[in-house]
A and B are shown apart, each in its own frame.
Chain A
């Protein structure tokens, strides 16, 4: 069941109403049943690996805690099993065919025979997310940061809770405590949650799915478009993936909040970041912090000299890329981010000198703006690898962008309008970019207007909490605005039920 489906529109209010009418003692059972149903609507068997993880990790949590009390030393073995079990499922379902393909290619390259066959599985819903959540649970129990959960149902809910099962946020074990707490129907919480959900639907249905038409058209027909359109499509993909994923997260957070739960933030205006490091503090926060706490720091972080520090950063980004999918493009995406970050760290002093020589340090606002733009450009560059179907395709896109932008700039510099027309001509006239169809013009206008609106909203939100300020206004003003947002979604949303991008991961 997708958040942007009609089924969810029925499912969620029904779950909420019944949840609040039930006594506190049995609410967890209702949430668990609803979450199982939510998970099984895609394919009933998706629940099986999840149940296996729940049972194994629940038992291991208790054993690790008991081992720690006895001082028997067995807790380390249980911890390793607790980490390896969900990871092995993840590898089996998500990466087996990828590693197999890589092995076949390597064997062919070295002239070896590689006869083994591999079965390709359908990736179970949310496996990347609940595997990481279960790992963080056993590690935290082992560290003694939390107590092992006794209540099997509450622990199951920690991994199964429907708003975040499919694409996160990757919650920490502290969420379990919230399932024990009593949640009464709070007007403020419910409206807050619904507003967050509405914002998410707006991002997904009005912006992401609309700009996706352009992105898919250009990336899907590379032979028909000049480089300048790939530049446009790459920038729009940056918008699409942000609105798609943060839209999903908003709906997840909002749904949980309506039910009285608080999920962690996943995005903090990432395209307003002035450096790549800052970008990663604002983008997919739940994954970044997870990797920091359970991979980067255990690897040694920045404690063992520069070389090891750089290595740890690179490994973390490489694995972050691999987490996104079993494809070289994702690994390259992670590697590009890692390399760019290392490059940034290595050239920091030179850049500071350059800034001081130019006097840019005396104009901090301009400097920040330039930094935001350059960070955005680097992030967009990396998105090419993320979006492309293969590494050669990504490289072809980069080549096209360089050549195309060069062509356009040269034409502009020498005022060669005929050449400019030639290098911006669109062969596929009957498409959204061809603009010849009456249907497409309004779509592009709505997309542009919505992106600008979102951007202005983010700018205001940076200075003051718009929703907080709004909550002090009269009810008719508040609800009037909510209705306006809902009407905008109703009339300008793309109800094509396009899958959220991060569902695939």
Chain B
């Protein structure tokens, strides 16, 4: 019996050590959201003053080098996916903000006023996992302080699983030159040095709209922006909010909800509200495959417009 318990204990220790080893050794994570790690690295590497864009994939169709050049800021596009959650995203960048930075926030309409989607965002475990990966030490300390040991193990285990899969991928693809890379394995081909999407989205018709159900906005889902604005102001960081682009037909269909959203934000937000939702309403031929992603033509026009608007306030 003693022998058996001894062997079982040794086996468990070996497994835990393997898990720890895999966590420590460098490696990529073959998951789209792992690009957050690369983006954080980019944020840290750019010198202030920086203009930092936070949003969903809609903001990936933005020419940030152009905006940066026009405004004389180092442009950092931290946007990735609307489902990540702006509140959580802003929390992640807080430690890296420097005086003189400008944070430009936008939220896709589902992430702002579709009740179900908002609920999904804040309970989405995938996002949690990759925010954890952005600052593992800080998150680990938080989990330990909150005594969420099982949750912590689960996240570390799932991330280690992804890394193990990445090794398998590298082994099969004989990809031995990038063994020490971190984050998303295809980051350098899918994103430019500012974090924008390197290649435009493919044009597909009809446009996908993810069946968003528009509701009247609730302030509790946006109050965090004011908290962030206060935090930023104390560090001499400017915060700007703008309403995302939308196809004309969809805008017309949901105008009353979007107007209510605008009224609420205009009234309550402490930060600068850059535009009216109608400013970035474009015809359908400016869009790629969904109502969120612009094609090259749309990207060019929106980037120039945004740049001009930002110039006026900065």
Q: Give me the interface of A with B, judged by CB distance under 8 Å.
A: 6, 185, 187, 190-191, 437-439, 441-443, 445-446, 449, 475, 479, 482-483, 486-487, 490-493, 495
Contacts and interface: CB of A to CB of B under 8 A. Distances in A.
B11 A446 contact: no
B10 A492 contact: no
B15 interface: yes
A143 to B, nearest CB: 41
B278 interface: no
Interface string B45-57: 0000000000000
A191, A449, A482, A491 — most chain B CB neighbours (10 Å): A491
A475 B168 contact: no
Contact of A490 (B1, B157, B169): B157
Nearest to A489: B15
Contacts of A191: 4, 7
A205 to B, nearest CB: 11
B89 interface: no
Nearest to A491: B164
B11 A479 contact: yes
Contacts of A493: 161
A492 B158 CA distance: 10
A490 B186 contact: no
A442 B166 contact: yes
21 contacts: A185-B4, A187-B4, A190-B4, A438-B30, A438-B31, A438-B185, A442-B166, A442-B168, A445-B172, A449-B168, A475-B7, A479-B10, A483-B14, A483-B15, A487-B18, A490-B18, A490-B19, A491-B161, A491-B164, A493-B161, A495-B157
Contact of A446 (B1, B4, B165, B185): B165
Interface in B169-223: 169, 172, 184-186
B31 A479 contact: no
B83 to A, nearest CB: 15
Contacts of A443: 165
Nearest to A437: B32
Contact of A492 (B1, B15, B161, B185): B161
B3 interface: yes
B160 interface: yes
B22 interface: yes
A345 B154 CA distance: 54
A31 B185 CA distance: 50
B7 A479 contact: yes
Interface string B142-160: 0000000010000001101
Contacts of B161: 490-493
Interface in B48-102: none
A186 to B, nearest CB: 9
Contacts of B19: 490
B172 to A, nearest CB: 5
Nearest to B170: A442
Contacts of A449: 168
Given A187-B3, A482-B11, A491-B164, A441 B18 contact: no
A445 B32 contact: no
Binding site of B, secondary structure by majority: helix, strand, loop or mixed? Answer: helix
Given A438-B31, A441-B169, A446-B165, A491 B186 contact: no
A184 to B, nearest CB: 9
A185 B2 CA distance: 11
B4 A438 contact: no
Contacts of B168: 442, 445-446, 449
Contacts of A495: 157-158
Given A187-B3, A491-B161, A492-B164, A438 B32 contact: yes
Contacts of B158: 495
Nearest to A188: B4
Nearest to A443: B165
A439 B34 CA distance: 10
B15 A442 contact: no
Nearest to A185: B1
B164 A486 contact: no
Nearest to A429: B202
A442 B173 CA distance: 10
A406 B246 CA distance: 46
A191 B160 CA distance: 27
Nearest to A440: B30
Given A185-B1, A487-B18, A439 B7 contact: no
A6 B150 CA distance: 10
Interface string B1-32: 10110010011001100110010000000111
A316 B259 CA distance: 68
A492 B161 CA distance: 6
Contacts of B164: 491-492
Nearest to A487: B18
User: When A and B form their complex, which 3 residue pairs have the shortest distance between CB atoms, in order from nearest?
Assistant: A442-B165, A491-B164, A438-B30
B28 to A, nearest CB: 9
A367 to B, nearest CB: 36
A58 B95 CA distance: 69
A491 B30 contact: no
A187 B3 CA distance: 8
Contacts of A446: 165, 168
A487 B18 CA distance: 8
B15 A445 contact: no
Contacts of B1: 185, 187
Nearest to B3: A187
B4 A486 contact: no
A493 B185 CA distance: 22
Given A483-B14, A490-B15, A491-B161, A439 B32 contact: yes
A482 B11 CA distance: 8
Contacts of A486: 11, 15
A185 B4 CA distance: 10
Contacts of B15: 483, 486-487, 490
